[in-house]
Amino acid sequence: MSVLWTSAEIETATGGRASTSFEVTGVTFDSREVQPGDLFVAMPGTVYDGHKFVEGAFAAGAAGAIVSHPVDGPHVLVGDTARALEDLGRASRDRSKARIVGVTGSVGKTSTKEALFAALDRISGGRAHRSVKSYNNHTGVPLSLARMPREAEFAVLEMGMNNKGEIAALTRMVRPHVALITAIAPAHIENLGSEEAIADAKGEIFEGLEPEGIAIVPNDTPHRDRLVRAARRHADQILTFGSGDADVHALHAVRSSEGGSLITAALLESEVTFTISQRGEHWVSNALAVLAVVEALGLDVGVAGLALADLGGLKGRGERHQVQLDGGKFLLIDESYNANPASMAATLKSLGAERDIDRRIAVLGPMRELGSHSDDLHAGLAPAILDAHVDRVILIGDEMRPLAEKIVGRVGLDLAKDVDEAAEALLSMLKPGDAVLVKASNSVGLAKLVERVKEGVACSI
């Protein structure tokens, strides 16, 4: 692997002092992720201080560390390791010639980021970079920047927030050439109070746009004009995507024989027909957002379409498992990574569109950070469940009781106090031909249910 940072460059970026000369090929602040050649940043923590893991990081092959007190092994000594990581991220951004895309939104930002990376990586012949997982906060964004290869031609960086002002700080670090907002929905409404405030907080992403920067805004939101006004203050050009009069919109979108969608999209001056492997109408919107970015960058939308067709399942975001049972298989749809009212409704609609199945089962856990709106927004999922013709629903925890009250007697219903109890309930009812959707906010821990169900079924056959 090529050298990512030398100790001299880390010194210059952070103002620290190197104990010796060294080179690194990667960066991490999680000792469990250390690969040979990495730089380990010993971050301060509320529970564990990263300095406790420096020895283990070196044992795992780290080539150097950033620390705030001397340690055994090659290191750069700084006053504040969290600040040093930010400085390293800024230095990476300063030296890079890559065209940067910033992505945020209430729904679909990680999925769209992954799809956009796949398109740009294919177009550039493997010279695209992205933030991994959901590294989209005050530590994840500088880490993603610090990891950006010198030779990268494109980078896709996700930015998230819980409160006003957080994206403004991140976007000024990222300094995107293109800034994309995927959607506005009542995620984090507990802290921000209203969807209008959420739109304003997401619109902060435009504040970091580079000169001649381009803003990309969803057309299918009542807050479109609010976002456009925010973009006008910073963007040289604004593109919309979605339905109706959007600059990038679908002329036709029909279900493909493989279960995804066949789409003909109208761009600014051309049309393109392509397929996407991912299922659900929300993925049509994601794909149009990707095309809008590719169009904004002046790149080949046909190649982007090929990348979307080849995009595989994303862990926790619609990954599909055909799991063997005695007498046949059942379909397990893993949407365990995150949930808000918009994404819940979209994935339930997708479950309703599943073909060649006998029963639809939904295992649903709470949507978090909804504050005083929680009861109403959970209860508001009832129409989506009924419209999807779900046969049986397993609801987890007290937060789901308002929804249970809306659907009791209309759908087969099981109430579970926790994830373990929900897993037992699901394992007891599974039959060949079932389609099972699993979805909740990540903090609920439904990924554990997915693994337990797969293992439990394997043990039983």
Residue 107 in marked binding region: yes
Distance between CA atoms of residues 422 and 415, nearest Å: 8
Domain 319-460 matching CATH 3.90.190.20: the answer reads yes
What does the pLDDT read at residue 313? 64
Residue 131 assigned ligand-binding role: no
First CA to last CA distance, the chain: 44
Q: Which of 447, 437, 450 is nearest to 352 (CA)?
A: 437
Q: What does the DSSP assignment read for 357-378?
A: -SEEEEEE-PPPS-GGGHHHHH
Residue 340's Cβ-count burial label (10 Å; 0-12, 13-18, 19+) is buried
| Degrees, nearest 5: CA angle 120-121-125 | 120
* Segment among 16-20, 170-174, 366-370 with least mean pLDDT: 366-370
Buried b (16+ CB within 10 A) or exposed e, 411-432: beebbbeebeebbebbeeebee
| Residue ranges per structural domain of the chain | 5-79, 96-310, 319-460
Give, in order, the Cα–Cα distances in Å from 131 to each of 108, 376, 397. 15, 34, 32
Report the chain's mean pLDDT, rounded to a whole number. Answer: 92
User: For residue 314, what pLDDT is reported?
Assistant: 67
Amino acid identity of 301? V
Could you give the CA distance from residue 441 to residue 456 in angstroms, rounded to a whole number? Answer: 23
Model-wide pTM > 0.85? no
Domain 96-310 CATH (choose: 3.40.1190.10, 2.30.30.190, 2.40.110.10, 3.10.180.10) = 3.40.1190.10
What is the C-alpha separation between 91 and 14, in angstroms, rounded?
A: 9
* 106 is annotated as contributing to ligand binding: yes
Q: Does 343 count as an annotated binding residue?
A: no
Give residue 61's region: left, alpha or beta (phi > 0; psi -120 to 50): left
Instruction: Please state the rounded mean pLDDT for residues 145-155.
Output: 97
Tokens standing for 22?
A: 């060294």
pLDDT, one tens digit per residue, over 307-348 is 988 887 667 777 888 898 888 899 999 988 888 887 888 889
Q: Kindly report, residue by residue over 377-428, the tens digit of the pLDDT.
A: 999 999 999 999 999 999 999 999 999 999 999 999 999 999 999 999 999 9
pLDDT band (50, 70, 90) for residue 460 = very low
Question: For the packed helices 281-296 and 341-352, what is the interaxial angle rounded to 10 degrees?
Answer: 120
Q: Which of 21-35, 118-132, 136-150, 182-196 has the lowest mean pLDDT?
A: 182-196
> Are the C-beta atoms of 316 and 81 separated by less than 8 Å?
no
* Whether the Cβ atoms of residue 19 and residue 74 lie closer than 8 Å to each other: yes
Read off the pLDDT of residues 185-223 as tens digits, 9 standing for 90 and up. Answer: 887 677 788 999 999 999 999 999 999 999 999 999 999
443 in a labelled binding site: no
**For 10, which DSSP code?**
H
Question: Span 82-97, mean pLDDT?
Answer: 98
108 is in an annotated binding site: yes
Looking at per-residue pLDDT, the higher value among 83 and 106 belongs to 83
pLDDT score for 251: 93
Q: How far apart are alpha carbons 395 and 416 in whole angstroms?
A: 6
pLDDT at 461: 37
SS3 state at 194: coil
166, 108 contact by CB (below 8 A): no
% of residues, the chain, pLDDT over 70? 97
- The class level of CATH for 5-79 reads alpha beta
**According to the model, what pLDDT value does residue 119 have?**
95
Handedness of CA 76, 78, 80, 86 (dihedral sign): negative
